[in-house]
């Protein structure tokens, strides 16, 4: 019996969508909850699963079509394909759940957070034949933010594992195939986007008709292309998060060449375009200088190549983007921290009783928060696409941390509303989580200004790179006892190097100098600021 599958409601106030990709072909067999198309609304790109199992006999739409809830998407001929049983509501009684006992479901990597489009498998925590419960952690993955365990939303027995350590995976990539156990069917149906019934009960690898979205090819740096603009004012195919990213980095989305399915624009495409813009602005004709290929080092001696961690990979990409798109200026100065160190030592035990450690970095978080209130342009971001400056009325301070997996930047949120003791306690907690790889994604989002302290490594002045979309970053060096003249008398004082890098599109040299001088006075007389902070 043939049935018509129509576009279901997509959410409140969403009246239409655009078809991004068609993920099946006529003649394909599909199971219940098999994703057959992706549509883009004004909110997000959303996969659309079918609610009936069978064979696709007719597809009525194509990529780029505008569709509305109720529009005919596909005609499906019922053929008794596995998964019909799961069309029953999730609220069915427990005895009905074990009915499809021979059926398996494929559990895919769930959505990891905004802007996270891939991750690297750190460890596989289950084996074929293992019985697992709902919420059992089956793999650990590393994003550019943190190492995160992935719990499964289906209880049952692992039939196949589709990934291994070191693999790069994207949301929707199949991780395991599992045969649901008693009572697991309702759990599986509750999250169809990550657990998709498949006709193959124990396939060793993803079947050709698996519903995972097709991988997006990545353009190698040597093949960066520069679009001449949207053809004849035609539509630009890019998800909302990609459009937002393009606005943040100052890239005209209509001038980006898409390399994704159907010519869709990805974040990597935007980054590639961003790398070409400084050359164009400087009169270089928009020609980018790609990374030169490496020579064969093996002829020179023994070498060893290791795969970059996801954190290292994303840090490298982000730093290249920041350096290519932000015109940097760095000011260096040396400040007298003799009184600050005396204050720190006098209050150290008091903070320790509260569970924190009073460090120079903790004091700087509070002082810088006050400085940002005096100089709001340093707490701003530039929106080049709309020719706007975004002044932020909140103060989230990022603190760069070195970990075995690479550089991470946990964020002290609303630092202006917290006491110095609270800031000290939070910094200690964040440092411990960073070392253990337990930082959550939200722990590292939203910073308006960043501090990076290399003093513990014996470094003096250096040039930190501004962390887009922030306007500035402060580099802190090692404090060293130094003879200086004070009121005509030579004294030994504790002097600390400071380096302020800022986005010269937002902060001019004079404003940067005034910010630095204000901060210098605050560091040298911390009580005058901390009393009011």
Nearest to 126 by CA among 151, 98, 147: 151
In the chain, helix, strand, coil percent, each to 5?
30, 25, 45
Annotated catalytic residue: which of 318, 332, 461, 504? 504
Report whether the peptide linkage leading into residue 469 is cis, meaning its omega lies within 30 degrees of zero.
yes
Q: Across the strands, what pairs with 170?
A: none
User: With left for phi above 0 and alpha for psi between -120 and 50, is residue 103 left, alpha or beta?
Assistant: beta
Q: Are 458 and 479 in contact (CB under 8 A)?
A: no
**Residue found by looking up tokens 């072909």 in the block:** 25
Angle between helices 338-353 and 420-435 (to 10 degrees): 80
User: Counting beta carbons within 10 angstroms of the beta carbon of residue 477, is it exposed (0 to 12), middle (13 to 18) or buried (19 or more)?
Assistant: buried
The SS3 call for residue 101 is coil
- The b-or-e profile of 511-522 (16+ CB within 10 A means b, else e) is ebebbbebbbeb
In sequence order, the 6+-apart residues with CB closer than 8 A to the CB of 13 are: none
Pairing of the two strands 66-67 and 17-22: antiparallel
**Rg for the chain (alpha carbons), in Å?**
28
- Is position 328 annotated as part of the catalytic site? no
Cα–Cα distance, 252 to 268 (Å, whole number): 14
Q: Across the strands, what pairs with 311?
A: none
The SS3 call for residue 190 is helix
- Point out the residues that are catalytic: 504
């Amino acid at each position: 019996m043939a049935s018509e599958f129509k576009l279901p409601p997509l959410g409140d106030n969403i009246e239409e969508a655009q078809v991004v990709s068609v993920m099946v072909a006529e003649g394909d067999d599909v199971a219940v909850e098999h994703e057959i198309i992706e549509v883009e609304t004004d909110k997000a790109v959303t996969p659309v699963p079918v609610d009936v199992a069978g064979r696709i006999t007719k597809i009525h739409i194509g990529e780029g079509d505008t569709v509305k809830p109720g529009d005919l998407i596909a005609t499906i001929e019922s053929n008794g394909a596995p998964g019909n049983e799961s069309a029953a509501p999730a609220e069915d009684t427990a005895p009905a759940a074990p009915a499809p006992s021979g059926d398996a479901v494929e559990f895919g990597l769930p959505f990891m957070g905004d802007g996270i489009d891939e991750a690297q498998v750190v460890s596989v925590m289950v084996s074929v034949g293992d019985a697992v419960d709902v919420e059992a952690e089956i793999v650990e993955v590393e994003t550019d933010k943190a190492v995160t365990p992935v719990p499964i939303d289906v209880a049952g027995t692992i039939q196949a594992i589709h990934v291994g350590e070191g693999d790069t995976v994207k949301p929707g990539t199949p991780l395991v195939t599992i045969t649901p156990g008693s009572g697991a069917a309702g759990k599986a149906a509750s999250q169809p986007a990550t657990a998709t019934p498949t006709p193959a009960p124990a396939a060793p690898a993803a079947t050709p008709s698996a519903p995972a979205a097709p991988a997006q090819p990545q353009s190698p740096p040597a093949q960066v292309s520069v679009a001449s603009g949207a053809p004849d004012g035609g539509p630009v195919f890019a998800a909302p998060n990609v459009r937002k990213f393009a606005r943040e980095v100052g890239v005209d989305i209509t001038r980006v060449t898409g390399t994704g399915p159907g010519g869709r624009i990805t974040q990597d495409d935007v980054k590639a375009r961003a790398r070409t813009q400084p050359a164009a602005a400087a009169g270089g004709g928009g020609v980018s200088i790609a990374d030169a290929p490496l020579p064969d080092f093996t002829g020179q001696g023994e070498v060893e190549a290791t795969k970059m961690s996801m954190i290292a990979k994303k840090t490298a990409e982000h730093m290249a983007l920041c350096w290519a798109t932000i015109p940097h200026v760095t000011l260096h100065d040396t400040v007298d921290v003799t009184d600050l160190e005396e204050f720190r030592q006098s209050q150290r035990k008091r903070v320790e009783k509260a569970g924190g450690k009073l460090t120079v970095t903790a004091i700087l978080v509070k002082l810088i928060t006050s400085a940002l209130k005096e100089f709001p342009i340093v707490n701003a971001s530039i929106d080049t696409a709309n020719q706007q400056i975004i002044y932020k009325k909140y103060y989230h301070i990022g603190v760069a941390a070195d970990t075995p997996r690479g550089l991470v930047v946990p964020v002290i949120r609303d630092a202006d509303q917290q006491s110095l003791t609270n800031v000290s306690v939070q910094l200690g907690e964040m440092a411990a989580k960073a070392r253990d790889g337990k930082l959550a994604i939200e722990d590292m989002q939203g910073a308006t200004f960043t501090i990076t302290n290399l003093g513990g490594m014996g470094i003096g002045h250096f040039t930190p790179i501004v962390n887009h979309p922030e306007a500035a970053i402060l580099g802190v060096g090692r404090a060293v006892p130094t003879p200086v003249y004070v009121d005509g008398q030579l004294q030994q004082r504790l002097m600390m190097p400071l380096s302020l890098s800022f986005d010269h599109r937002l902060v001019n040299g004079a404003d940067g100098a005034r910010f630095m001088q204000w901060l210098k006075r605050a560091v040298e007389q911390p009580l005058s600021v901390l009393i009011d902070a």
